[in-house]
Structure 1
């Protein structure tokens, strides 16, 4: 396991640093929140960006971790543009499936962190010129106790901020309403003690779920275009999970967040190796409150 602190600080010393958070759902906001906390902890100065600007020329661009090097979601045009313009591109811990041609095109100005052994072996095989390291998902660096009772992003404050004109980084009313509606619907049907948070997209195992379920990674997504939206999404995500004692999920960042909160977690497989690989890499030995369920169909009573 590489020393991510030393690598980041040495690579970014005396340089202008931009952090580009990976676009996505509330799980990506959790990754970004852990990144904010970690950068602040190690004293790394950075500027958050959500689009490529001329300022990145001859600068360091750190691109957020996640599962974007994956045919489900991503075509690497954005990263190709960044690596051509920036002095150095650093990819925070991610999972990689395929993209051999993209990996082989990466030069010595690229550093890649992988968050599990399968991706690490794949990237090492194909990214022969880039610097490749193994590290934990950035969500593990969240200082979780800071957010459990934080009221800055509660529903009242979200709505109040959204009503202020010309506030570009306020959360849209339709996203606030979606979160409220989905929360109330789930809480009206489910046990007070158990959270079932299974995904409903292309990464699911396709199970027919016959119990109350809320895909909170989608329900609590406010986009990752600004620090406020990231923090609002992640904070509501954390506080909702914290209401429950038992968490059943195939969502990686629901499992990680619940593990950090000390919940009893039953962690199920997604449609490819990601969840199991990260369970083995980071959760199995360090979080005994997490049980790996694999491809066993969840039966919730």
Structure 2
């Protein structure tokens, strides 16, 4: 079957050897030394499990020792213990108008711990507290603009932690039709469409679900259409032909510009007005030959 676009050059896998991860390492090491720290993994859907897996592999790869805690553990931890300890807060999208909980959580962590490192996240700069995070280092997974750098932004760039994941072996065979994985939550773009065969795999698990299954599903396809950032990241690292669409606050474009565009020529950033009229080549569920499926507006 002929796909809409043939995949371009294969990627180099993960981005473990890139300089931004070295910068992150130095920041964490400066604060932890030879001691231990407390790690608060990201909450969320199955895509967030790639962030947590990459974070744990990052700590292990660099010989860093941590104790993991759920966010609710803050109510029971001894303040005398946390006051001399570093906290590392998992990255993600909890700093924007859709999901704002990480802002208040990090403020509370900063008031209890000696210092805090927030792993690469997507930020709405208007939501950053003016005070209360003086002992925190915030990493952004969107590369900073020249204006932000000149204005003394509190953010430092690093790739999303999912890019640190060790990759599984490729499956023996792949399916002859594309994966359409479009989100069904409040982060959807206002122009988002709801095509047939949409399979929002991120809702099949949580941030605590093993990321191996996520990679396994994505690895079964050669072509992906998605506005789920970690479907795109997994597909990029596995060498798939990825068409990434935007949600409603710029997260996808930020990571595309900061990481995907330079390292993964197999990924394209697609506008919704380009995707909506497409006839995405696919197959009906069982035993029916390929057909041209119309995309319809939600």
Instruction: Give the TM bin, normalised by the shorter chain.
Output: 0.7 to 0.9
* 2:35–2:65 Cα contact (<8 Å) kept: no
2:244 alignment partner, SS class = strand
Kindly provide the CA deviation profile for residues 185-232 of structure 1, in whole angstroms up to 9, marking residues without a partner as x.
Answer: xxxxxx7431110111112124232320111111222xx4xxxx34x2
Alignment pair present for 1:199 and 2:219: no
Segment drifting more, 112-121 vs 9-18: 112-121
C-alpha separation between the residues in 2 aligned to 1:281 and 1:212?
Answer: 30
Kindly provide the CA deviation profile for residues 66-122 of structure 1, in whole angstroms up to 9, marking residues without a partner as x.
Answer: 1111121114332121111101111011111144451x2144421111111358966
Report which of the two has the higher share of helix: 1
* 2:223–2:240 Cα contact (<8 Å) kept: yes
Asked which structure has the greater RCO (Cα within 8 Å, sep 6+), the reply is: 2
C-alpha separation between the residues in 1 aligned to 2:133 and 2:182?
Answer: 38
When the two chains are superposed, the root-mean-square deviation of aligned CA atoms in Å is 2.4
Alignment pair present for 1:218 and 2:203: yes
* 2:40–2:90 Cα contact (<8 Å) kept: yes
- Give the number of equivalent residue pairs: 247
Gaps of 5+ in 2: 1-18, 282-298
Alignment pair present for 1:48 and 2:68: yes
Instruction: For 1:114-133, list aligned pairs within 5 A.
Output: 114-117=140-143, 125=151, 132-133=155-156
* 2:182–2:199 Cα contact (<8 Å) kept: yes
Aligned match of 2:117: 90
Aligned match of 1:140: 163
* 1:193–1:243 Cα contact (<8 Å) kept: no
TM (normalized to structure 1)? 0.75
1:69 alignment partner, SS class = coil
TM (normalized to structure 2)? 0.76
C-alpha separation between the residues in 2 aligned to 1:63 and 1:210?
Answer: 36
Distance 1:254 1:101, change over 3 A: closer
Pick from 13, 16, 29 the counterpart of residue 36 of structure 2: 16
1:105 alignment partner, SS class = coil
* 2:181–2:224 Cα contact (<8 Å) kept: yes
Aligned match of 2:137: 111
